[in-house]
Structure 1
C-alpha cells in the first residue's frame, strides 16, 4: 500500500509551474533533481506549509489536502515530522526543551526520549542552547525533535547540503541509525546522487517542475541521469565495501568477495564504508592484465550498454552495479555487449571514501 499519494499543481507569480504526481511506500523515498526543479515546493505542500493551486494529498487513508472538496489539514494535525537544512530550533529553549516540545506536540506513535538521545548522541548537549551548538549538533537536535513527535511520515529538506564532507558523513550515519531504529516512512530532498543511492530505496526524479521518472533507486536514477533529464549529468558510482582492514601499510576491503584497495583512512571503521567515483574514472579491458600501477581490478558481467552521441555508458555487475564511460570507438573495438565479461580498472586516487 502506498504511504503517500500526491497529485498537485502549483503556479508561482514568476511563471514556474509545478505538476507533481507520484506515490511512495513505507521505506525511504528521495525527491531528486537540480536546483529549481520543484523539490522543496513539493515537500512544503506535503507538510502543509504551502497551499497548492490545485491537487490532492493522501497519507495512508487520511486525506490531507483536496482542493476540489475545500479540504486542507493544517500542518500541526498532519502527524508529519519536518527537518529543514537550516535546523529551525527554538533559540530560547535548551536542546532538552526542544526535544520535549516534540513529545508534547504529537498525537501519534510514542518514541522514547532516552532512546532518541542515545541514538543521536545528544546527552552531552541537552542543557545547551542552539546558538552554542555546532552545525552537526543542531542538525541532530532538529532530527531528534522531529522523530519525537511520533510522525507517520518524516520529511527531510536537503538535510546535508550546508555541511562540509566530514560532518556530512557523520550526519549520514545518524540518519541511517534513525531510519533503522524506528522505520519511519521518509521522504527526503536531495540533488546529490551519492546521498540518494546510499539512503533511498525509491526515488522520484523532478526536473523543471515535472516528474520525469520514479521507481527503485538504482535503475530509476541511472535511467534519468543518462537519458531522461534535459541536461543529464551521468551516473555516479557508489560501492559498499565490507571487511575494511589495514594490510601491509594500505587499506583494503571487499566488494562482494573481490578485493579493493582504498585511499588512506584515519582509523579502522566499525562498519562498512562506501567509495564514490565517476564512470570516467573506470577503464575497461576484456583481457587479464598485469604490471599496472592501477591497484583495483574488478571483474564482472556487462548488464547494459547505452550509446549516446560522443560517449557510451556501460553498466557492469561486479557484485554491485558499476558504470564506466567509454568512447563509441572503444565500445566497438572491445566488442562490448550485454553478458560480455570485462575487468574494471579503477585508480585508488580516484576514489572518495564515504563512512
Structure 2
C-alpha cells in the first residue's frame, strides 16, 4: 500500500508541487524548514485542502481527482491527524474527548481502556483539558486519534512545544504504538533528531518541493547544513546493544551486521535490552582524525577507516567522509588540520570520539 500524490497547490506567495509515492509501511518522516510545505502536504493527504489540483490515491482508492471531479471528504478518508496544538475540546475532560472519538468509529476493535493503557494516560482520565501540560495534551490527542481506528496516522510537529525529556518519552511512545498496532504513520518535523529516532524513510522538503528522499540514515548523512537550521552535520546509524557495564556507566555497542567484538564501541549507559537496536547519531564536530592507531588515550572509541570524500564547506572548514566498518562517518575539520595531516581520498586513517559523543536523543 502507498499514498500516490500528483498535486499542485497555489497560495499567494507559495506553491506546493508534489509527485510522490509514499509507502504505507513503517513511519515516513517529512523534514524541512518552517514554510517548506510539510503541513500543506499532510493537509492534502487528509483532505483538508480541497483547493489542491491533481490526484491523491490511497492504494486503489481514489481520494481526489480534480479532472473527474472526485473528492472524498476528510471525515470519510479514515485518516487520523494529530495537530501541533492538540486541538482538544476545552469544555470536556479527558474521557469526554476520548468518548467523542469512540462515537465516530462505527466498528471499534479497541476499547477506551486499551487505548488509555497504550498511550499511558491512566492518571489523566478525569482531568479537565485546562489542567494538562503540553505533553499530556498530545498524549490525549494521540489516544483520541487512535480510537477512531485510522488506516493511516498523520502527525504534524506534535512535539514542538515539549521539553527534551517529554519529547524523548513521546518518541518512545510513538515507536511502541507503531509496533503494537502496525499503524502506518507520516510524521512531520523540522527536528532532525525526532526524524532520526522515529522514521524509516524520509522526505526532505524545501520551497514546496521534495528535494531528497530515501532511508533515514542515508538521507540524514547527506543533509546539507542549510536544511538542518545551521545545526552541525552528523552521522546517523543503528547499533546493537552488546552488554551493559554499569560499574563504569557504559553500554557496549556493536555494528548490527558485524561479528561481536570486531567493531566495539562504547556509549553512556543506555536503558535498553541486550541485542536490541539503538538509533544514534554522532556530530561531525565530535569526531577527530589521527594518522596512527591511538595508543594510551582516554578517548574510548577509535576505528580504522578509509577517506572516500573531502568536501570544502567554507573558507576555514571541510567535511571528511571516512568509511569504517562499512559505515560512512562525517567529520568536520578545519582546513588547517586537513592540510597539516595531508589528508587525501583513499588514505587509511583512524577516527576517534568519546563515549558521550554517541547520542540517542
Structure 1 length-normalised TM: 0.86
Unaligned runs of 5+ in 1: none
1:125 equivalenced with 2:124 (yes/no): yes
Partner of 1:285: 290
Partner of 2:195: 196
Answer whether contact 1:255 1:319 (CA < 8 A) is retained: no
SS at match of 1:214: strand
Distance in 2 separating the partners of 1:300 and 1:144:
47
Q: Note the C-alpha offset of 1:233.
A: 6.1
| Residue number among 294, 307, 328 corresponding to 2:311 in the alignment | 307
Distance in 1 separating the partners of 2:308 and 2:104:
50
Distance in 2 separating the partners of 1:246 and 1:179:
30
* CA displacement 1:214-269 (0-9 Å, x = unmatched): 2222223333437x969986632345562563444433331335444445x6xx62
Distance in 2 separating the partners of 1:233 and 1:249:
31
Partner of 1:111: 110
Answer whether contact 1:286 1:334 (CA < 8 A) is retained: no
* CA displacement 1:98-150 (0-9 Å, x = unmatched): 22322221357733433322221111111212111122221111111111111
* CA displacement 1:280-322 (0-9 Å, x = unmatched): 211123421123332322x254485252454233153447553
SS at match of 1:89: coil
Distance in 1 separating the partners of 2:329 and 2:185:
27
Greater Cα shift, 49-58 or 162-171:
49-58
Partner of 1:139: 138
Distance in 2 separating the partners of 1:202 and 1:80:
19
Q: Note the C-alpha offset of 1:336.
A: 3.9
Alignment of 1:9-48 (within 5 A): 9-13=8-12, 15-25=13-23, 26-48=25-47
* CA displacement 1:23-59 (0-9 Å, x = unmatched): 1112211111111111011111111111234121111
SS at match of 1:159: coil
The number of aligned residues is 345
Structure 2 length-normalised TM: 0.84
Answer whether contact 2:63 2:71 (CA < 8 A) is retained: yes
C-alpha RMSD of matched pairs (Å): 2.9
SS at match of 2:203: strand
Partner of 2:59: 60
SS at match of 1:225: coil
